[in-house]
Structure 1
Amino acid sequence: MGIFGNALSGWHLLIIVLVVLVLFGATKLPVFAKGLGQSIKIFRKEMVDVQDDIAKDKDKRSDEHLDRETVTVPESQTRRASEDR
């Protein structure tokens, strides 16, 4: 059984590889693979940077939350709010 069940067997994949070689040529494939590899490397680096930024922001928000003072509402304001309903 091939990669996609019975849809693609070993012979099908070989034919696809040969067609790609004919279309792009053997000289362009290494350049294409190098560009693809660099793109993947940049994408992974950016993903790590975004995850780091999210973690820093989360830490910063939790630190700010701990620094806040609790706010108490006078009873007269809570009574008025309940009476307005």
Structure 2
Amino acid sequence: MFGFIVAGLIIGALARLIKPGKQDLSILWTLLLGLAGSVIGGVVANLLDTGDIFELNILGFVVAVIAALLLIGVAEGFASKKDHG
């Protein structure tokens, strides 16, 4: 379980580095969305029978990073609408 959390934090940090431009989310929110992305990646990998949700595998990792990027983008969209709305 600890490894899963660490992987999620790394995925969040990696997603933040990959995403271009200025980011309006705090580091904490980015890391939490990375955790959510790692859960999504683990679930997808499990559904595709490439490994358990707690195992680190390539497909799960890639899906987790993509999911974290999408979640960060959506969260930033909500944050910018809130600031400009």
* Fold-level similarity (TM above 0.5): no
- Determine which structure has greater relative contact order: mean sequence separation of CA pairs < 8 Å that are 6+ residues apart, divided by chain length: 2
Kindly name which structure, 1 or 2, has the bigger radius of gyration based on alpha carbons. 1
Q: Bin the TM-score by the shorter chain.
A: 0.3 to 0.5
TM-score (norm 1): 0.34
